[in-house]
Amino acid sequence: MAWIYLGIAGLLEVVWAFAMKQSHGFTRLVPSAVTIVTMIASFALLSVSMKALPLGTAYTVWTGIGAVGAFVVGILVLGESISAMRIAAALLIVSGLVMMKLSSAA
């Protein structure tokens, strides 16, 4: 269950990062509210997952899901630039996440 909670927490991190971008510096109410609610939920699920997973593993995977997810959303939804170097960087992050998962006993 810890890995499921961590995965959901990571996805919520992507949601709050996107909503924060849409809030325009917390000047728009709905995206600002979405940011705060999903941020709290993401932190709560991360906390629950840390009951069973090591700190380093949980935090690294959580931030990695958020980083790669925000990268993908930025390209697909916001039209941000894509380059071979950015793709390589994202692939390196994903490979690190896989290694963290494989090295975890929980």
Give the distance, in angstroms, between the CA of residue 10 and the centroid of all CA atoms in the same chain: 4
**Which of 18-27, 37-46, 96-105 has the weakest average pLDDT?**
96-105
What pLDDT score does 104 carry? 72
Q: Are 77 and 18 in contact (CB under 8 A)?
A: yes
What pLDDT score does 98 carry? 87
pLDDT one-digit tens code per residue, 50-92: 999 999 889 999 999 999 999 999 999 999 999 999 999 999 9
Q: Are 16 and 67 in contact (CB under 8 A)?
A: no
Predicted TM-score (pTM) above 0.75: yes
Other C-beta atoms closer than 10 Å to the C-beta of 17 total: 20
d(CA 31, CA 23): 5
